[in-house]
Amino acid sequence: MAVTVPEPVAVVTPVAATEPVAGGASEPSAPLTYDTWYGSLGDDVKALQDGHVAGLKTALGSERDQRKALGTQLREATVKLEEGSDARKALEVMTDKLETMEQRAQFYEDAGRPETGCPSPRLAYLAAREGDYFDRRGNVTWNKLKEDYPELFVKPKLAPASAGAGVGQTGSAAAGTGAGGMNDFIRAASGRET
């Protein structure tokens, strides 16, 4: 029996577009976003991606529907039990925990979206819960939360790629020494010519 070995697949990591700067070095012009990456894909790859995402969305939707149905069943069962009974109190506690779990899951999903700009969803959730930033439907009032806690919504910045960045120089024009900068030094040490 012959065994077939699949061919290796090349993994391509997308990088941000670069613009040349003085001295021939390149500096990122803008961070790569999902939309720009997705726009650069071929139609066949987009179809694969769309199919995969559609399956994930369907699974997520069915999970949400199941949780909502469970919450409704718990509320209905709670109403049927005798007022003040231990069973009713236990079901009320379970219902509250389920609603809190659902609220937290929805918060994390919303916080993870790029347009929200929340690099620390756990801290933002704690602030939202303690500061009562949820409306009566359980949705987050993001604008109010961002206004009161702007430090939780700082967008990460790209680090400069040049070794001379931060001192007003590019990597190839270091400190007026006439010699190459740190980039050239590293290349020479690794055996590569500049």
For residue 45, is it within any domain? no
For residue 59, is it within any domain? no
For residue 81, is it within any domain? yes
Query: Which pLDDT tens digit goes with each residue over 23-37?
Result: 555 555 567 787 888
For residue 132, is it within any domain? yes
* Residue 164 near residue 170, CB atoms below 8 Å: yes
> Distance between CA atoms of 181 and 149, rounded to whole angstroms?
41
For residue 148, is it within any domain? yes
For residue 76, is it within any domain? yes
Query: Which pLDDT tens digit goes with each residue over 131-189?
Result: 889 888 888 999 999 999 999 887 656 555 565 556 665 544 444 455 567 777 788 78
Number of domains in the chain: 1
Q: Would the pTM of this model clear 0.95, i.e. be above it?
A: no
Q: Could you give the 3-state DSSP secondary structure of residue 47?
A: helix
Tokens coding 69: 């149905």
For the chain, where are the alpha helices, taking DSSP H only?
34-39, 43-80, 86-111, 121-130, 142-148, 182-189
For residue 40, is it within any domain? no
Tokens coding 17: 């577009």
State which residues form the domain around 80: 65-153
